[in-house]
Amino acid sequence: MGILELILISLGLSMDAFAVSITLGLSVQKPKTIEILIPGLYFGFFQAFMTFIGNFAGTLFLIKIQFLDHWIAFILLCFIGGKMIWESFKKTDNTIDKQQFKFFNMLLLAVATSIDALAVGITLPFFNINIYHAIVLIGAVTFFISIAGVMVGNICGIKFKSRAEIAGGVILILLGIKILIEHLF
């Protein structure tokens, strides 16, 4: 496996994080630098970390979690998406909800979007590549893709801020359903 294939794998793994980052960008009017970086740091770290765990956990671990991984991602994404939709109806003023960037919420999102990296980590040693280079590349690509997602979401959020939080919640729920359907069928 060459660098091009590894970059494509990294891009594929980062797409869930990109979609979630867009929803986070929808929730802020003028994001501070830290609000742009937080999703990249969480998602990049967890993509790399789950790849690392998958690499060293081995096939036995995959067999035990394989039937559950899609359910975990589905439940976490639907919970957070539902919470976003619920909170969009509770708001009475135009304040921006920055709770989405809090530790617990970001942790749940990062875990939910990086479960696939666990399985990828198990397969990487079969391709005779340096696992540490792969882990760094996967984390870096996800970091930058997530930053781009926040900025894209923010641009859309400025234009459509009245429905942005509902749209973000629906996107997360649909992403959870997509993951579930892909793994069940």
Percent of the chain with pLDDT over 70: 78
Q: Please check the confidence at residue 15 and state whether its pLDDT lies above 50.
A: yes
Location of structure tokens 């696992």: 131
Q: How many CA atoms lie within 13 A of 161 on its CB side?
A: 14
> What is the distance between the terminal CA atoms of the chain, rounded to a whole angstrom?
28
Which of the pair, 39 or 156, is modelled with greater confidence?
Answer: 39
User: Rounded distance, CA 175 to CA 177, Å?
Assistant: 5
Residues with Cβ < 8 Å from 67, sequence gap 6 or more? none
Mean pLDDT, residues 124-153 taken together:
88
Task: Give me Rg for the CA atoms of the chain.
Answer: 17
Long-range contacts (CB closer than 8 Å, 24 or more residues apart) made by 99-108:
100/24, 100/27, 101/24, 101/35, 101/38, 101/39, 105/80, 106/38, 106/39, 106/42, 107/42, 108/76, 108/79, 108/80
- Number of residues assigned to the chain: 185
Q: How many structural domains compose the chain?
A: 1
Residue 160: predicted pLDDT? 60
Which of the pair, 97 or 78, is modelled with greater confidence?
Answer: 78
Residue 59 belongs to what domain range? 3-184
Residue 138: predicted pLDDT? 94
At residue 155 the predicted structure's pLDDT band, cuts being 50, 70 and 90, is: confident
107 near 42, Cβ under 8 Å? yes
pLDDT digit string (tens) for 59-76?
A: 565 566 667 767 877 787
109 near 76, Cβ under 8 Å? yes
- φ, ψ at 66 (rounded to 5°): -55, -40
Mean pLDDT, residues 117-132 taken together:
77
The residue type at 141: V
At residue 168 the predicted structure's pLDDT band, cuts being 50, 70 and 90, is: low
Q: Please check the confidence at residue 78 and state whether its pLDDT lies above 60.
A: yes
Residue 170: predicted pLDDT? 80
Q: Please check the confidence at residue 183 and state whether its pLDDT lies above 70.
A: yes
Q: How many CA atoms lie within 13 A of 52 on its CB side?
A: 12
pLDDT digit string (tens) for 17-26?
A: 888 888 888 8
